[in-house]
Amino acid sequence: MIGYVTVGADDIPRAKRFYSAILPPLGYGLEEGPEGLSYALPQHPGRGASLPEFYVKPPFDGGPASAGNGAMIAFQASCQQEVRDLHAAALAVSGRDEGPPGFRDAYGASFYVGYLRDPQGNKIALFCSTQDEPGRDG
C-alpha cells in the first residue's frame, strides 16, 4: 500500500493553484505549512489516515525541483464528467495538457483518462473506470 507521494516544486503558490483545482474536488483537504503543502483524505473515526497522502514541497536537498522521467501520479475520479471537469480546471490554472480526457486503445474499454503536467512538469493522470457509463465501444 502506498502511504504517501511527494513531488517537488520551486513555486509553491503556483503548485497550490494547480493541485487545489483538482484535489479538493476528489475529497482531499489541504494543510499549508512552512515546509509546503499537504493534501490528505479525511480520516474516519476509529481508523487511521486514508491513504495515500500527497505532499508538494521544495526539494529537501535545496536544489531545483525536477520531474521524474517516466514517473506519473494518477488520481481516481468518480465519473467521466469529473475527469473532464478536473482536467479543464487544471488547465485553467497553469497545467499543461498531455492528452485530453477520453478512452485509449491501449487500455480497457471502460478506462477513461486525461493527462496533464503540473507547473513543475510532473505528469498527472485523472481517470475513472466505471462500468455504468458508456465505454469506448459504446
138 pLDDT exceeds 70? no
Distances (CA, A) of 114 to 61, 65, 73, 82: 32, 24, 12, 11
pTM: 0.89
- Per residue in 7-40, pLDDT (tens digit) is 999 999 999 999 999 999 999 999 999 889 999 9
- Per residue in 21-30, pLDDT (tens digit) is 999 999 999 9
Above pLDDT 90, what percent of the chain?
76
In the predicted model, what is the mean pLDDT of residues 122-131?
A: 94
What domains lie within the chain, and their CATH numbers? 4-59+72-128 (3.10.180.10)
93 pLDDT exceeds 90? yes
